[in-house]
């Protein structure tokens, strides 16, 4: 380091970065409690300032005064598509191609069933859904139930195996773009291309990607995608999710009158005709199902609307640039200041292979995280899985949301981590107690 090089271990360096941050004003769009450093937006995004007033208006005026008329007067009937069109640019989709509906889990059930119906070829041997062993459990549960229902099977592989050719028995490759445990980000274009070369379809879960990293669904030629509304999109706990299908598939479904398996009335071509026969709506609207939850939908729109304010500052590309810088600062500080405490970096160092989180492994990760939370540094913990990772797989996860995370937040969080590790306070018995949600 020369005398002119900035020293990232000096807090003044982070202060300067915050002062130069073109996205700094976006932090004021959120309610962030004093004394809290929130690094868990990859699990639940912070509350946008506009949300409480908007939900109150829906409750008091639209529901309380206009009552059922609000389906028309307040535009409730079109809200799912309107929000979908706002999310679409964040994931590389076009207008009318993405819709908000149900949960990520339910949407995955819909698209896997649809993918099986559309799977190329009639080879009875091509009846395997392939996913990685470390994928989010609910995705694997749903994939297994769908596979069993259709006489298919689910096969799990290690992440490294995805670099090789897919088994010719593969009909569907189902992956989460950014791994929820490690933060590793897949090359969507390359893996989709590999799936197509093997004669399979590619289904992507964008739960840890949408709103945090650039995604190009159309450019990558992905087949189906689902995503979460309450993480980086800041839609609130249990916010509705979204679903996308490539236009080539929705066009074929239109032509062949193929249905997704949950034929709810909001997926009908004319739901208010109240006919006894089901006619699926055209395009992505066929993937809607039951009545949209208006309070949650209104909250989600407030979260998504914040992204429109990034347009003059580089949009999702600028968010990605800041995300990379935040993560790299955190990694640098941990590795320079927490040596000798057994913290192991699990997240890839290469930014091109990393989402917007950093995971550190430690046998006592839970207690360490609880000690940090008591100090106001909120991340989360994921236990080692039963497939051989054991205690070495206990992870402290830190999510970096560039809309509201500051560089000084990163510096201060690491300072708290240093204090927790140096003092050994995490060894106190109260930090070993586990709650229902970790």
Question: Is position 231 annotated as part of the catalytic site?
Answer: yes
322 catalytically annotated:
no
Of 31, 17, 59, give the one whose Cα is nearest residue 410. Answer: 17
Radius of gyration (Cα) for the chain, nearest Å? 23
7 catalytic? Reply is no
Instruction: Identify whether the C-beta of residue 198 lies closer than 8 Å to the C-beta of residue 171.
Output: no
User: Which residues are CB-neighbours of 106 under 8 A, at least 6 positions away?
Assistant: 241, 262, 289
Rounded CA separation 382/360 (Å): 10
* Contact (Cβ atoms closer than 8 angstroms) between residue 50 and residue 28: no
> Are 185 and 59 contacting, i.e. CB atoms less than 8 angstroms apart?
no
Among 30, 224, 230, 381, the active-site one is: 230
Is 361 in a helix, a strand, or coil? strand
Annotated catalytic residue: which of 86, 181, 184, 231? 231
Exposure b/e, 286-308, CB count within 10 A at least 16 = b: bbbbeebebebbbbbbbbbbbbe
CA 126 to chain CA centroid, nearest Å: 30
**Dihedral-angle region of residue 32 (phi above 0 means left; psi in -120 to 50 means alpha; beta otherwise):** beta
The DSSP secondary-structure symbol of 385 reads P
Given 126, 322, 397, 406, the catalytic residue:
397
Catalytic position from the list 30, 38, 109, 136: 136
Q: How far is CA 194 from CA 17, 50, 163, 165, in A?
A: 40, 43, 9, 7
CA dihedral 80→44→387→104, nearest 10 degrees, is -10
86 is catalytic: no
State the catalytic residues: 136, 205, 230-231, 397
């Amino acid at each position: 380091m020369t005398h002119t090089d900035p020293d990232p271990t000096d807090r003044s360096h982070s202060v300067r970065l915050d002062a130069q941050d073109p996205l700094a004003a976006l932090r004021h769009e959120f309610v962030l409690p004093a004394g809290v450093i929130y690094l868990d937006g990859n699990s639940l995004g912070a509350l946008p300032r506009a949300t409480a007033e908007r939900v109150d208006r829906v409750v008091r005026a639209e529901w309380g005064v206009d009552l059922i008329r609000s389906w028309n007067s307040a535009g409730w009937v079109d809200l799912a598509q309107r929000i979908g069109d706002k999310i679409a640019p964040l994931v590389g989709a076009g207008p009318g191609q993405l819709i908000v509906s149900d949960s990520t889990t339910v949407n995955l059930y819909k698209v896997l069933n649809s993918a099986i119906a559309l799977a190329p070829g009639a080879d009875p041997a091509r009846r395997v859904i392939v996913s990685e062993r470390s994928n989010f459990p609910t995705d694997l549960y749903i994939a297994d139930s769908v596979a069993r229902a259709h006489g298919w099977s689910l096969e799990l592989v290690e992440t490294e195996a995805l670099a090789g050719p897919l088994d010719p028995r593969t009909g569907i490759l189902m992956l989460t773009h950014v791994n929820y445990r490690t933060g590793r980000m897949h090359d969507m274009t390359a893996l989709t291309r590999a799936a197509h070369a093997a004669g399979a379809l590619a289904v992507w879960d964008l739960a840890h990607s949408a709103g945090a990293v650039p995604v190009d669904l159309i450019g990558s030629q992905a087949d189906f995608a689902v995503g979460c509304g309450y993480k980086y999109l800041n839609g609130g706990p249990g916010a509705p999710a979204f679903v996308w299908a490539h236009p080539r598939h929705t066009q074929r479904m239109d032509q062949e009158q193929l249905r997704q398996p949950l034929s709810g009335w909001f997926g009908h071509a004319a739901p208010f005709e109240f006919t006894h026969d089901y006619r699926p709506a055209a395009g992505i609207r066929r993937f809607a199902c039951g009545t949209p939850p208006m309070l949650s939908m209104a909250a989600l729109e407030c979260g998504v609307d914040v992204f429109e304010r990034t347009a003059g500052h580089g949009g999702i590309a600028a968010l990605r640039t800041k995300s990379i810088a935040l993560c790299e600062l955190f990694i640098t500080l941990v590795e320079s200041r927490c040596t000798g405490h057994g913290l192991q970096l699990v997240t890839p160092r290469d930014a091109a292979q990393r989402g917007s989180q950093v995971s550190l492994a430690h046998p006592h990760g839970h207690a360490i995280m609880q000690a940090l939370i008591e100090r106001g540094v909120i991340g989360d913990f994921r236990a080692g899985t039963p497939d051989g990772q054991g205690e070495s797989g206990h992870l402290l996860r830190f999510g970096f949301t560039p809309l509201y995370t500051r560089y000084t937040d990163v510096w201060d969080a690491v300072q708290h981590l240093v204090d927790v590790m140096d003092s050994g306070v995490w060894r106190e018995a109260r930090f070993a107690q586990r709650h229902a949600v970790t």
